[in-house]
Amino acid sequence: MRRGHPWVFSNEIASFKGDETDAAQVIVRSHKNDVLGSAFYNKHSLVSARYYSRKPEPFTQELLTARMRAAFARRRGDVCRLLFSEADGVPGLIVDQFESVLVFQLNNAAIDRYRELIVGQLIYHSDVIVEASVSPERIKEGLQPIFNVVHGDLPDQHTISVNGLKVPVKIGSSDVSTPSLEQRFNWRLVGGLARGKRVLDLYCGSGGFALNAMKGGATSVVAVDSSQSSLNDLQASAQLNGMEGIKTKVTDAVQYAKSAPDEFDLIVCDPPVQARSAKQLKTALRHYREMNRWCIGTLAPGGRLLTFTRSAGVSLSDFQDCILKASRDAGKQLRLLPFTAQPPDYPIFLGMPESNCLKGLLLEAIE
């Protein structure tokens, strides 16, 4: 905690005094008995304490209300992440806005107890409020998944507007599939780069990059994903927006890039998380190096690669070094262009790499 990280792991606790009630509020002290801050405590979780203040103070309803209002005041627009857990001073609470629908998550046992108050604050911001507390973090906290429409009527079909495109949002008890809001500015960037270009979207998911590339005037777009369901969603979105011409391939993205029949002027590589723990870091870096080696090899002269990592344990410097090695493997030189991956409504808590959930590089092949 002295280095700025807001978590205390179970193996870092030397002693505990008081009632070890789950979701208790505790004062964290150093081995010298100095106060390090106040935290939520859960003895059943690997992350035993989650800091909410650097001062010895209780987490009150007034404190929660003030932090929620402050987070909302920092956001702009009606499609965004309204509150981002520790980065906004409320560990475990995430709130996303999809125009008229708010979706919130309660991801630890302590914040779970404030459900009624949280809903009471959200009512001021939307007519429809959905709890989708279905993340794996709840299981680790000893909580059960919860999906519930807590206020208003959730429409059977909900569509939002992002960068001038209609984007379907699936919110249901068996299917919570929402757009990657953290990528929406990068979708727009790709749209601006795509005019007259041959575009390849690897790990395309529901097709945010592919759709924006086509809207931006790409001459061709190929979207690759191993999930046929995701590709079906992409085609449905293309039809919703009156688009034709996006080619979809249901296959492994690396294998496609490895044997691509053509070069591409613009490639997006946005794979799922490769490392969820420090033990997986070396394997993740090896995967990133391989997949980007083939992306770089498929770039046309002067082509651009927008490549991402969603693995919190992979630092930006490690990722950049990995891409450098991949470029050497591919026998090409790249120049690094200015780029910031994570949008402002996903603030980064300095000292907590887990809050930097999206890192990326924009690169150009040197002719």
Residue ranges of domains in the chain, CATH in brackets:
7-53 (no CATH), 61-163+167-177 (3.30.750.80), 180-365 (3.40.50.150)
Cβ neighbour number for residue 133 with a 10 Å cutoff: 22
Residue (of 70, 52, 69) closest to 120 by Cα position:
69
User: What pLDDT, on a 0 to 100 scale, did the predictor assign at position 175?
Assistant: 56
Inform me whether the pLDDT recorded for 74 exceeds 90. yes
313 pLDDT band (50/70/90 cuts)?
A: confident
Q: Residue 88 has what pLDDT?
A: 97
In this predicted structure, the answer to whether residue 355 has a pLDDT above a threshold of 70 is yes
pLDDT tens by residue, 173-226: 555 666 788 999 999 999 999 999 999 999 999 999 999 999 999 999 999 999
Contact 150, 129 (CB under 8 A): yes
Please report, rounded to a whole number, the percentage of residues in the chain having pLDDT higher than 90.
77
> Is 80 exceeded by the pLDDT of residue 276?
no
Residue 89 has pLDDT above 60, yes or no: yes
pLDDT confidence bin for 139, thresholds 50/70/90: confident
Whole-prediction pTM: 0.92
Whole-angstrom distance, CA of residue 284 vs CA of residue 312: 11
User: pLDDT (tens digit, 9 = 90+) per residue, 143-162?
Assistant: 999 999 999 999 888 899 99
- Please determine, for residue 228, whether its predicted confidence score (pLDDT) is greater than 70: yes
Closest to 214 measured CA to CA, from 201, 230, 202:
201
Q: What is the mean pLDDT of residues 296-321?
A: 94
Out of 13-22, 103-112, 293-302, least confident range: 13-22
pLDDT in the model for residue 274: 86
Over 80: is that where the pLDDT of 120 sits?
yes
Q: Measured in Å, how far apart are the chain's first and last C-alpha atoms?
A: 47
What is the rounded distance in angstroms from the CA atom of residue 313 to the CA atom of residue 104? 25
Question: Cβ(184)–Cβ(343) under 8 Å?
Answer: yes
> Alpha carbon of 99 to those of 74, 81, 96, 203: distances in Å?
17, 11, 9, 26
Q: Tell me, what's the pLDDT at 173?
A: 56
**Distance (Å) of CA 131 to CA 22, 97, 171, 232:** 22, 12, 10, 26
pLDDT of 345: 95
Instruction: Tell me what pLDDT residue 50 has.
Output: 95
Q: What is the pLDDT of residue 281?
A: 85
Name the E strands within 230-325.
Answer: 246-250, 264-269, 299-309
Give the rounded percent of residues in the chain with a pLDDT score beyond 70. Answer: 98
